[in-house]
């Protein structure tokens, strides 16, 4: 195992090294420029489209509603990365990591819009008549590189067990044990049963559950986080100022600085944790957005803009600013991950704060297990066909139990490291496809703008 993890560490250093991080952010910058900065142009339209059409029937083909697809995607992205991952970035890189999370998210909005739009454009129906789509279908049908498509599907199939299952089950079990003293083995069994009841019904049941769960859990955590921040409202300007200042200046000059902080670490950890949280550039969310009922690829792409905005600009910011204003980052340098966030909530709100954070983490992680199941199944179906779905369901449920019972320490660290590597391997073929088809995306946006201007699309 030690030899295997050493190899993984070496590969991880490549896939999450400066070149890959530069490619992730650089792709977002490039797409933003050639598409006319859609994250700015469509900002108002984004809220009108997403919030104004909840519950309304849309025109076009698809399996689930546009908002249902968004809910599944948000269920997948709003997970332990928003609480544990964001806190880890601050712990390792200092306040400047938050600034680089913001930068990653701003340009990641365009990346997510592009990959979602292309997935809708090149989706197809499977043997059972259900819509399937995502990077593997784009790479095969539009780029003509089936070997790259197969690699992406392979990485997705196995990455899902880590980032989307074991880590999330483990985070849920730890959160329930910290906040409510629930033994991990009990959490594992309950998680497995609840997940089984949902995924056995396929995408439509996943969509139905997450459509109700995601708004509730987001509001629940946002209100709890705002309570932590508002109590120290006078420290908000200083927290934001530190995030910006120490993104470009030596963070070791900050009072109470933790050994190891540097501009380089703040940048790399901020970008890596930002991408891990909102998944822009990984190619995961397009697999569910491709199933949405919509009349234009770019319309569903706008939901991708909202997904990244909500995940990182809103929820990750609340976590980080809560930690910075509570003072736990420098007061408790021994803490990282969910423990650091929990301590910030506890410092300000006491026992209710622990319960809010624990319940929020448990809901975030559980919903991610549901959303990522669809991604893993989509990758497996692309490689093996529909016959694999019953087997994949059984394996998925089993990993829920294993992840919850695994405990913390070395087990959790190894799972995080493996998941990081698999995510990076997913990103590489996806980014190749996005850059290859950037001119195709420009045509999609140009057509969308023309139809909106003419009134054909409202």
The structure tokens listed for 39 are: 């994250």
- SS3 call for 129: coil
- SS3 call for 221: helix
CB 131 within 8 A of CB 63: yes
Per-residue pLDDT of the chain (458 residues; tens, 9 = 90+): 778 878 888 888 888 788 888 899 999 999 999 999 999 999 999 999 999 888 777 788 899 999 999 999 999 998 778 888 899 899 999 999 999 999 999 999 999 999 999 999 999 998 888 899 999 999 999 999 999 999 999 999 988 998 889 888 887 887 788 778 889 889 999 999 999 999 999 999 999 999 999 999 999 999 999 999 999 999 999 999 999 999 999 999 999 999 899 999 999 889 888 887 899 999 999 999 999 999 999 999 999 999 999 999 999 999 999 999 999 999 999 888 888 998 999 999 998 988 888 888 888 889 999 999 999 999 999 999 999 999 999 999 999 999 888 765 566 667 777 877 888 899 999 999 999 999 999 999 999 999 999 998 87
User: DSSP letter string over 162-197?
Assistant: IIIIIHHHHHHHHHHHHHH---HHHHHHHHHHHHHH
Residue 237 confidence (pLDDT): 97
- SS3 call for 230: helix
Query: Does CATH number 1.20.1740 belong to domain 8-451?
Result: yes
Buried b (16+ CB within 10 A) or exposed e, 47-69: eebbeeeeeeeeeeebbbbbbbb
Q: Where are the domains of the chain?
A: 8-451
Distance CA 253, CA 411 (A): 35
Residue 61 falls in which region: left (phi positive, over 0), alpha (psi -120 to 50) or beta:
beta
According to DSSP, the residues that pair with 132 across neighbouring strands are: 124
Which candidate, 159, 129, 106, places its Cα nearest to that of 372?
159
């Amino acid at each position: 195992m030690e030899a295997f993890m050493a190899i993984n560490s070496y590969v991880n250093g490549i896939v999450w090294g400066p070149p890959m991080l530069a490619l992730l952010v650089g792709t977002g910058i490039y797409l933003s420029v050639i598409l006319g900065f859609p994250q700015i142009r469509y900002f108002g339209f984004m809220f009108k489209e997403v919030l104004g059409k909840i519950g309304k029937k849309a025109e076009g083909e698809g399996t689930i509603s546009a908002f249902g697809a968004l809910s599944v995607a948000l269920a997948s992205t709003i997970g332990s990365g928003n609480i544990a991952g964001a806190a880890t970035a601050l712990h390792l890189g200092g306040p400047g990591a938050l600034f680089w999370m913001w930068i990653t998210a701003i340009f990641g909005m365009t990346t997510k819009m592009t990959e979602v739009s292309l997935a809708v454009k090149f989706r197809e129906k499977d043997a059972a008549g259900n819509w399937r789509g995502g990077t593997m279908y784009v790479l095969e049908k539009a780029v003509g590189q089936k070997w790259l498509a197969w690699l992406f599907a392979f990485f997705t199939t196995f990455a899902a067990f880590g980032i989307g299952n074991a880590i999330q089950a483990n985070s849920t079990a730890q959160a329930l044990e910290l906040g409510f003293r629930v033994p991990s083995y009990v959490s594992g069994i309950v998680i497995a049963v609840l997940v089984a009841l949902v995924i056995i019904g396929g995408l439509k049941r996943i969509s139905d559950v997450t459509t109700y769960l995601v708004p509730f859990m987001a509001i629940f955590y946002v209100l709890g986080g705002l309570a932590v921040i508002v109590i120290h409202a006078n420290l908000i300007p200083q927290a934001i100022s530190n995030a910006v200042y120490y993104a470009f200046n030596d963070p070791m000059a900050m009072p109470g600085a933790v050994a190891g902080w540097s501009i380089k670490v703040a940048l790399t950890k901020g970008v890596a944790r930002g991408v891990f949280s909102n998944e822009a550039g990984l190619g995961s969310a397009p697999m569910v957005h491709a199933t949405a009922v919509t009349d234009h690829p770019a319309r569903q792409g706008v939901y991708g803009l909202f997904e990244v905005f909500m995940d990182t600009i809103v929820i990750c910011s609340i976590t980080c600013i809560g930690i910075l204003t509570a003072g736990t980052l420098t007061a408790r340098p021994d803490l990282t991950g969910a423990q650091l966030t929990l301590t910030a909530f506890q410092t300000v709100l006491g026992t209710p704060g622990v319960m809010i954070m624990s319940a929020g983490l448990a809901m975030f992680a559980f919903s991610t297990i549901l959303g990522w199941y669809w991604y893993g199944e989509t990758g497996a179906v692309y490689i093996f066909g529909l016959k694999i779905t019953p087997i994949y369901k059984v394996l998925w449920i089993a990993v829920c139990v294993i992840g919850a019972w695994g405990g913390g320490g070395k087990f959790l660290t190894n799972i995080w490291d493996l998941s990081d590597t698999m995510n990076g391997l997913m990103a590489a073929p996806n980014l190749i496809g996005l850059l290859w088809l950037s001119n195709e995306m420009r045509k999609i946006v140009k057509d969308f703008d023309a139809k909106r201007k003419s009134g054909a699309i409202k």
